Structure 1
Amino acid sequence: MEDQANALLRQGIQHAEGGDVGQALESFAEALVLVPGNPVVHYNRGLVFQKAGRREEALNDYRVATGEDPNFTEAWINQAYTLVCLGRFDEAFGAADRAIQLQGNSPSAWLAKGNALKGMHALGQAADAFVQGLQVSPEHRELKTSLANTKRELGQVDEAISMLREIVGQFPDFAEAQRDLAHALLLSGDYLEGWKQNRWRWQTSSLIGGERHQTVPEWTGQTLTGKRILLWDEQGFGDAIQFVRFVPWVAESGAEVVLEVQPQLVKLFQTVNGVGNVIARGDALPQVDYQVSLLDLGDVFRTDSFAVPNEVPYLLVEPIAYDKARPRVGLSWAGNPNHDNDRNRSVTFDLIRTWLDLDGIDFFNLQFCGRAKEASEERRLQSIPTKPDDFLATAEFVASLDLVITIDSAMAHLAGALGKPVWVLLPYAPDWRWMLSREHSHWYPSAALFRQS
């Protein structure tokens, strides 16, 4: 029976290595019928679940593995990684610490501990964990990169850039480090090198294979007179809203501009000057001569940090008419929970609830994700008459406000692109586009930046 279970285990591992998740899980399930609770089988099934993004199931298998074998270091390590992905950082710290107690010379255990500490907002302690890991394994590229990124988040940007240059020099194909160098350069204001460096993003594990329209020649600055060009969005709504500002420059180069974006943005982006046609992702496209991602236009135009096109509004909508007897203020306190940095940028509604005590102001709920329900019973915060998937209607409402107060989310970009006064609440370690120390944004002249101390 044990031999048969081992054969099924090997079979499952082979299926997993070949990318056949279904067959791998079936083999592991059959093995567990023969050897119930076997920690090695549970561990390997956990790896498959983890790779498939089924984190709760992965966590369950890792916990069974460590329950059956409390000295199973790799199961503790992967349990910690999964808990970090689930945002359960205290538990992740405990699992990583247990792995270190069992095997203090494991760089992966120190990496997991550092990542858990970052999630707990203990950046200094996280840096110490990465340093201790590097004492065990001085050439571990993930530990080096994690330490560099933590230095950046601590505000030590020059040191982070220096470290990342050393890492990409040693590991030139390490796309994540190349991308992280780009973000550090952009954060420091070195846009010219940062734009070029940021093209490495397409080689990272999270974006590889995501480039669209690669059978069409990429526009890198060729003459556009009489040509038709496709500009396409990527990543989040905020990125698209920020970079659609470049469309008039492309149109002024003589091109007919076709814009391909997420369906929720189609009607809104039809208001941008210079756009010939706006098409939802997945819809049929006309024949075009060139294509380029919106996010690469900064590189094509060689745009430095002091020369970004920042005339607002560039989203040209008609505000909804309201009786403005009292100031109207919109509030947004949370972004997409799947965003890599959401744990740092979003706040709880309770943190801003006291603002509603201010007399003589009408407050409106601009929160669209699931976090909106935090304020569902707050009568002093009025709902807005638009649907979450209609950015044009939302923009028309936002244009009627006197002020927007928001965290770093698509709402910050929408208000800024409309030229509305907007107060952006930034975490201690901000996204690159807000740079460091500045009280105002060179992307959005109407924005005031409030930074976490």
Structure 2
Amino acid sequence: MMTLIDPGTGRLLAQAIADLEADRLVQAEQGLRRVLLAAPKSSEARHRLGQLLYRTGRYSQAEAELRRALAIAPTPETRLGLGLTLMAQGQYPEGWALYGARHEIAAKGLPRPQDFPHPEWRGEDLNGKHIVIFPEQGFGDQIQFARFTPQLQALGADVTLLCRPTLERLFAHSFPDARVLAAAGAVEFPDPDYWVMAGGLPAPLGTTLETLPAQPYLTTPSTWPTLPPGLKIGLATRGSPTNGNDRHRSLTPEQAAELTAVLPGQVIDLDPVVSGARDFADTAALIAQLDLVVTVDSSMAHLAGGMGKPCWVMLSVLGVDWRWLDRATDSPWYPSVRLYRQGADHAWGPVIAAIGADLARGEIGGGR
């Protein structure tokens, strides 16, 4: 990705990249722009500036910068960066096509089947065909993309859906006509005609904002002990620590306590370690009894949203995921979800205050 630049500019670029990786974003942006004044054809600097603009929610500027970088050096990193930026703006057809570059970046750790003697599905007729969906990324991603399973079945496909073990019971009950198998150890299933990665489904299906299947699609076979009567709010204040943006999206214990203090009624911690849930089916059975879920950007948002449960999602201003788009408070993926976004101060306090104020007014519903 590097373009030859003089040593002084190279040192400036290295410092700007270090500032970006350390979240010194003002210094990073100043440094990158200085580099581009000296070396306007530095694809690395343009890619990094586009990355910074994306992380700070300036999507149209990020798109322009990444397109410039792509014209200089069409690397997988820049193709993926542009794809995510387009998807964050709802420009799905072009975004999905570029999203496939995620599998070309070794550091992402997103492998595809190797030496698999069957073709990848790219939109061919599925009537009477068997297709296997391979899992990828985190729990939230797998829950989000599982919604396309019935769409494949409506095209006449026999579907095998592979998933992480703690999703198996939930998916098996939610998609009873699919062959749902836990992707653990040696997994046997009939030879497929095609295979597809879970995140690769929207592209060949031609998914747009207008055709996105958004109706509730998750149900649970589990039961949960009956909770006491009255208002019940589920709470999730932390996501997976392995997520690259977890330091921004999760709450500290002090912030979690501040949030809990503004929640009325019975507050129920959705962390399985606390609740005792064995898997997502159990957690779904617990959520089914709740009036509202309040969560950071974690798998709980996707679980509650996929069930159609009112769910309020707290979003960091830094590195907000593409799937929440650049819309203010609603999500086309989950109509029952309401979004609460940080302001330019990167602080959770105003978000917590807004949630408390809405609850004090008696609001419980989802998107608005």
Which bracket does the TM-score occupy, shorter chain normalised? 0.7 to 0.9
Structure 1 pair 445–293 and aligned structure 2 pair: CA distance change class (3 A): same
| Structure-2 separation of matches of 1:326 and 1:280 | 37
SS at match of 1:130: helix
Q: Which residue of 1 aligns with 2:350?
A: none
Q: Give the counterpart of 1:235 among 132, 137, 162.
A: 137
1:324–1:393 Cα change, 3 Å: same
- Partners of 1:164 and 1:317 in 2: how far apart? 46
Change (3 A) 1:385 1:209: closer
Question: Whole-Å Cα distance in 2 between the matches of residues 358 and 296 of structure 1?
Answer: 40
Report the counterpart of residue 87 of structure 2 in structure 1: 186
Rounded to whole Å, the distance in 1 between the matches of 2:263 and 2:330 is 27
Tell me which of 124, 140, 147 is aligned to 2:49: 147
Q: Note the C-alpha offset of 1:152.
A: 2.1
The structure whose residues are more often helix, as a share, is 1
Point out which structure has higher relative CO (alpha carbons under 8 A, 6+ apart): 2
What is aligned with 1:415? 304
Cα deviation 1:258-310 (Å, max 9, x = unaligned): 11111121111102236421112232232111111121111111111232101
Matches within 5 A, 1:347-366: 347-357=251-261, 361-366=265-270
Match of 1:397 in 2: 286
Give the partner amino acid of 1:422: C
- Deviation readout 1:163-198 (Å, 9 max, x if unpaired): 1111111112x1111100000000011001101111
Distance 2:227 2:260 in 1: 20
Alpha-carbon distance in 1 for matches of 2:321, 2:84: 8
The residue that corresponds to 1:287 in the other structure is 191
Count of paired positions: 333
Corresponding residue number in structure 1 for 2:240: 336
> Which AA in structure 1 matches 2:104?
Q
* Match in the other structure for 2:352: none
CA contact (8 A) 2:143 2:306 kept: yes
1:233/1:240 contact within 8 Å kept:
yes
Name the counterpart of 1:111.
16
SS class of match (1:184): helix
- Is structure 2 residue 286 aligned with structure 1 residue 385? no
Which of 301, 326, 334 is equivalent to 1:444?
Answer: 334
Find the aligned partners of 1:288 and 1:397 in 2 and give their Cα distance.
36
Q: Classify the secondary structure of the residue corresponding to 1:234.
A: coil
TM-score (norm 2): 0.84
In structure 1, stretches of 5+ residues that fail to align are: 1-101, 373-382
Change (3 A) 1:104 1:159: closer
**Which residues of structure 2 form unaligned runs of 5+?**
1-6, 344-368
Larger radius of gyration: 1
CA shift, 1:138, in A, is: 4.0
One-letter amino acid of the counterpart of residue 253, structure 1:
L
Verify the 8 A CA contact 1:321 1:400 in the aligned structure 2. Answer: no
Q: Which residue identity is paired with 2:101? A: W
Matching residue of 1:206 = 107
Q: What is the one-letter code of the residue matched to 2:26?
A: G
Does the CA contact (< 8 Å) of 2:83 and 2:96 recur in 1? yes
Counterpart among 266, 287, 300 of residue 204 in structure 2: 300
Separation of aligned partners in 1, 2:96 and 2:263: 46
Measured after TM superposition, the shift of residue 142 of structure 1 is 2.7
| Cα gap change, 1:112 to 1:441, in 2 (>3 Å) | same
Say if 1:326 and 1:360, in contact at 8 Å, map to a contact too.
no
TM-score by length of 1: 0.69
Secondary structure (helix, strand or coil) at the match of 1:278 reads strand
Q: Does 1:160 align with 2:50?
A: no
Q: Which residue identity does 1:308 align to in structure 2?
A: L
Give the AA of the match of 1:170.
I
Deviation at 1:337, TM superposition (A): 1.4
Residue 96 of structure 2 is matched in structure 1 by 195
Root-mean-square deviation (CA, aligned residues, Å) is 2.3
3-state DSSP of counterpart to 2:122: coil
Deviation at 1:150, TM superposition (A): 1.2
1:36-75, aligned counterparts within 5 Å? none
Residue 358 of structure 1, CA deviation: 5.2
Give the C-alpha shift of residue 318 in structure 1. Answer: 5.4
Q: Distance in 2 between matches of 1:128 and 1:210?
A: 36
Deviation of residue 354 (structure 1)? 3.1
